Structure 1
Amino acid sequence: MADAEKTQTKTEEVEQITDHREKDYTLANPDTLTKYKSASEIAQRVLAEVTKAAVPGATILSLCQKGDELLEAETAKVYKGKKISKGIAFPTTVSPNDILTPYTPIASDAAEAEIVIKEGDVLKIQLGAQIDGLPGIVADTIVVGAASDEAKELLLATHYATEALLRLLLPAEAHPNHTEEKPYKAPTSYAITQTIQKIADVYGCKVVENTTSYDITHNEIEGKKRVVLAPGENMARSEGSPEVNDVWGVEIWLSKGSGKVKNMTGKRATLFKKTDVKCSLKRESARKTYNEIAKKFGAFPFGLRQLEDERTAKMGVIELVRSNILRSFEVQCDKDGALISRIYITAAITKNGITKLAAPPALDLEKFTSEKKIEDEEILKLLELPLKQDAKKKKKAAKKEVSA
C-alpha cells in the first residue's frame, strides 16, 4: 500500500486548506481526482486477488466474502485520522455464465452458499471502494481455466465494444479530431448502439437490452446523466451527455443469445440500493435494517450479507422494498440461457481525453484468438483513436490554429 500512503501524504495540505469551507467534489478540485484514483487503485488490486481465487471448487460466496474483507481492510489503511467516509462502494459480486446482474449469495441460504465454480465458467466479477464518497468501481468478465471458442468470441467482442464505447463517449472538447474549423459532433445513443452492435455481430453476440452507463457524482453511482444502449420498451432513454470534468461508470453488456433478459426463478434479490423515498415504517425489523443501511452504506449498493443480522435483514428489506425506500437488484439472466459478459470502468473525462481510473486488465489478445475479425474501416479507425491526447502537443496545435 506504499502508493496509497504516498497519495494520502500529497493530499494532506490540500485538505487542510479545503476543510474549513464547503468541499468541491468536481474534478476541478485536484483532491477529488486523487481520492477517485485512490479508491480505484484499491478496487483494481482487490479485483486481481478475487480473480486469482476464482478456481474450480471455490464457492461464489467465498469469493464475495474475500473481496469485501479486502475492500474493508485496504480502505482502512488510507486517510487515517481523517473525518471522511471510506469503505465499500459496491460489494463483491460474482455472476456466473448466463446471469447478468451482480450476484452475491448469502450464508444463511444453504443452497446459494454452496454454489461452486467449475472449469470453463464465465464469471462477471464486480466490486468497488469509496473514499470520501468518491467511488472507484470495476467489473471484469473472466473464464475459469480453458476458454471455449464461444467464450473467446464473447470476450473479444466485449473487449473491442468497450474500447469503442469509451471513444464514442468523448465530448467534442476532448476529442482528438475536434477543431474550430471542423467541430466534432458526438453521436446519438442510437448511433452508439449501432456501432457497438456491428462489433458484436462480428463475434456472433448481441448488445443486452438496456445496457446503461451513468455519470458518477459524490455519493452516487447512478447520476442524472445516462447513455442507454438497446433500450427496451417502456424503459428509460438516454439523458444528458458526457462532459469535461465528468466521471462516468462505463458499462458494456453482451450476450451470445438474443440480448433479452428475464428474472431468474428461485433466486432472491440480495443486492439493494437506498432511494430518496422517505416514509414511516411499521415493522421493527424494517426500522432496524433501515437505520443500519443509512449509517453504513448511504446511497451505495450493499448486499444482505453485509448487514449485522442476515435473518432480521431478510425480513426488514421486504417492507423497505415495498415502500420503495430500497431498490432491489433482481437476479436476471439471458432468456436463452446463453453466456453473458459485463465490463464496468470508472472513467474520468478531462479536456485531454478519458482516463481509465478503475478498469479490468487488458484482454490477452494472444490467448484469446478467433478466426472472426473486425473489417469495418470506420470501426477500425475508431479503435485506433487515442483516448487521451498529449497535453503539450494539444497546446502546440491550438497555437498553430490561432496563428494560421
Structure 2
Amino acid sequence: MAEEKKEIDYTLANPDTLTKYKTAAEISNKVLNAVVELVKEGTTVLGLCEEGDKLLEDEISKVFKGKDIKKGISFPTTVSPDEIITPITPNPHDTNTPKWEIKAGQVLKIQLGAHIDGFAAIVGSTVVVPAVDAAEAEITGDTADLLLATHYVNQAFLRLILPPSLHPGAEEGKEVKPPTQTKINSVLSTIAKSYGCSLVENTTSYQFERNEIEAKKKIILAPAEHMKGEGHPEIGDVWGVEVAVALGESGKLKVSDNKPTLFRNTGTTFQLKRPTSRQVFSEVKTKFGQFPFSSRHLSDQKAASFGLIECTRGNLLRQYEILVEKEGKPTSKDFSVVAITKKGLSIITAPPAIDLEKVKSDKKITDEEILKLLEIPIGAPKKANKKKKKAGAAADAADE
C-alpha cells in the first residue's frame, strides 16, 4: 500500500518557511541597494527596471540549486518618479510607454521582490536623485519633510501592528487590545501632518500567504468612503506593510493618461475567446503565478497587445492603473515585510535606514503619545529593554 504523502506545513510554525522568506529577502534587499546605487541624473526608469530585474534573476538562480522548489520574481523592479504613486515598469515594446528620463532632485519610489517556494519578500524605498557630484549633500526643505514623514509613519505603523502582549501595560496584567484601523489612521495622519504632509489615499497593507501577497486581511490608510480594511494582524501572520505619503494636505489621487504595464493574475475564472488571449494567460500562470509582472516579460509581444486586453476585461488579470497625486505633489513610499511572532516583529525586508544626519527639517513630532509609541522596541518585549531610548534613536534602531 502506497504511503500517504505528508501534508507540508507552510505556516511560520515550520522553520523552513521563515528560512525561505529570509533567503528571498537577502536577494531583494541586495538588489534594492544595487538599484539605488545606479540612480543618477540621465538614467531612465526603464533602464533601472531592466537592470533590477536582471539582478533579481541572477541572484535567484544562485539559491536552492538542484531542488524542486519554484522560485522567481515576486514583484518586478518598479521606479515611480515624483507624483506617480503606482509602481512603474515601462515596456520598451510599446511605443506609447515613455522611458521617463531621471533628473536631479526627483523623488523616486523603488520597489521589487523575489520569492522562494511562493514566499515573497518585497521591499520598497524612496530615494532622491542626487545632482552630479552632490551625492553626500544634505537634503532639506519639502523633500526632507517628505522623507522624514514617511520614515516615522512607517516606524509607527510597525509598532501599531505589534502583538498586544508587547505593548506598554501588558506586562502589568492590563488587557491590551489591538488598535482599530481608525486609531491607526489617526496616529499616522498626525505624524504626516507634523511634516506638512498627508497619507496617500487607499494605501493598502495586506497579509501575505504562500503564493499570495493580497490575502484576506488588510489595513487601508486614508480610505475612501467605499473602502474599508478587514481583520487585524495576529501572531503567526506575515504582512506586507506599505506606507505612502504626499506633500501637502491632499493625498488624493487621479488616473493618469499613461498606459498600464503592470498586471497581476486575480485567480478568477473566465472563458477567453481569442486563442492569443489563452496563450497569454497560460504563460502568465506558468511564469508568474499570482505575482505581479511587467508586460515586457511576456514572450510574444504581439499576442500580448491583444491578449492582455481580453484578460483584463474578463477580470482574469488586474492592471495597475497609473495613479498620480491629484495636485501634482511629490509622493513617497516604503514597503516592508514582517513576520509577527510572540517576541515581536521579525523584519523580513525593510527600506534602508534613513540618514538623519543628512536629512534635515525644521519640523518635528511633538505629540507625546506618538513619541512614546516610537520608543517601543519592535523585536523584543519591553521589559527586556532596561534603558529608555529617545524616540528618534528607537526609531532608527528599529530599522536595523
2:64 aligned partner, one-letter code: Y
1:399 matched to which residue of 2? none
Match of 2:129 among 135, 144, 148: 144
Structure 2 residue 313 is matched with structure 1 residue 322: yes
Match of 2:70 among 85, 89, 96: 85
Match of 1:274 among 243, 265, 273: 265
Counterpart CA distance in 2 for 1:40 and 1:132 is: 13
Q: CA deviation at 1:366?
A: 0.5
1:40 matched to which residue of 2? 25
1:359 aligned partner, one-letter code: A
2:135 matched to which residue of 1? none
Query: 1:314/1:175 Cα in 2 relative to 1: closer, same or farther (>3 Å)?
Result: farther
Equivalent position SS for 1:198: helix
2:290 matched to which residue of 1? 299
Q: CA deviation at 1:148?
A: 5.1
Question: Which 10-residue stretch deviates more, 278-287 or 79-88?
Answer: 278-287
Match of 1:200 among 192, 199, 204: 192
1:233 matched to which residue of 2? 225
Q: CA deviation at 1:245?
A: 1.2
TM-score normalised by the chain length of structure 2: 0.90
Counterpart CA distance in 2 for 1:141 and 1:305 is: 24
Cα offsets for 1:108-154 (capped at 9, x unmatched): 13463532110001000000000000010000011011645111100
2:159 aligned partner, one-letter code: R
Equivalent position SS for 2:97: helix
TM-score normalised by the chain length of structure 1: 0.90
Q: Given that residues 120 and 148 in structure 1 are in contact (C-alpha distance below 8 angstroms), is that contact kept between their aligned partners in structure 2?
A: no
Equivalent position SS for 1:200: helix
Q: Given that residues 174 and 244 in structure 1 are in contact (C-alpha distance below 8 angstroms), is that contact kept between their aligned partners in structure 2?
A: no
Which 5+ residue runs of structure 2 have no aligned equivalent? 132-138, 386-400
Which 5+ residue runs of structure 1 have no aligned equivalent? 1-18, 395-404
Match of 2:347 among 356, 374, 381: 356
Counterpart CA distance in 1 for 2:77 and 2:113 is: 7
Q: Given that residues 165 and 192 in structure 1 are in contact (C-alpha distance below 8 angstroms), is that contact kept between their aligned partners in structure 2?
A: yes
Structure 2 residue 206 is matched with structure 1 residue 214: yes
Counterpart CA distance in 2 for 1:48 and 1:177 is: 38
2:253 matched to which residue of 1? 261
Equivalent position SS for 1:319: helix
1:99 matched to which residue of 2? 84
Match of 1:52 among 37, 40, 65: 37
2:391 matched to which residue of 1? none
Query: What pairs up with 1:331-346 in 2 under 5 angstroms?
Result: 331-346=322-337
Structure 2 residue 14 is matched with structure 1 residue 22: no
2:238 matched to which residue of 1? 247
Structure 2 residue 355 is matched with structure 1 residue 374: no
Q: Given that residues 166 and 382 in structure 2 are in contact (C-alpha distance below 8 angstroms), is that contact kept between their aligned partners in structure 1?
A: no
Q: CA deviation at 1:103?
A: 0.7
More helix by share: 1
Q: CA deviation at 1:311?
A: 2.8
Aligned length: 374
Q: Given that residues 110 and 124 in structure 2 are in contact (C-alpha distance below 8 angstroms), is that contact kept between their aligned partners in structure 1?
A: yes
Structure 2 residue 56 is matched with structure 1 residue 71: yes
Cα offsets for 1:325-378 (capped at 9, x unmatched): 001100000000001111100111100001211111110000001111111111
Q: CA deviation at 1:183?
A: 2.0
2:46 aligned partner, one-letter code: L
1:49 aligned partner, one-letter code: A
Counterpart CA distance in 2 for 1:80 and 1:391 is: 41
Counterpart CA distance in 1 for 2:83 and 2:212 is: 28
Q: Given that residues 200 and 246 in structure 2 are in contact (C-alpha distance below 8 angstroms), is that contact kept between their aligned partners in structure 1?
A: yes
Q: Given that residues 40 and 137 in structure 1 are in contact (C-alpha distance below 8 angstroms), is that contact kept between their aligned partners in structure 2?
A: yes
1:13 matched to which residue of 2? none
Counterpart CA distance in 2 for 1:35 and 1:341 is: 29
Question: Which 10-residue stretch deviates more, 62-71 or 177-186?
Answer: 177-186
Q: Given that residues 337 and 350 in structure 2 are in contact (C-alpha distance below 8 angstroms), is that contact kept between their aligned partners in structure 1?
A: yes
Q: CA deviation at 1:234?
A: 1.5
Counterpart CA distance in 1 for 2:381 and 2:175 is: 19
Q: Given that residues 168 and 382 in structure 2 are in contact (C-alpha distance below 8 angstroms), is that contact kept between their aligned partners in structure 1?
A: no
Counterpart CA distance in 2 for 1:345 and 1:52 is: 20
1:167 matched to which residue of 2? 159
Q: Given that residues 275 and 327 in structure 1 are in contact (C-alpha distance below 8 angstroms), is that contact kept between their aligned partners in structure 2?
A: yes
Equivalent position SS for 1:112: coil
Counterpart CA distance in 2 for 1:245 and 1:155 is: 31
Q: Given that residues 174 and 350 in structure 1 are in contact (C-alpha distance below 8 angstroms), is that contact kept between their aligned partners in structure 2?
A: no
Counterpart CA distance in 2 for 1:367 and 1:75 is: 33
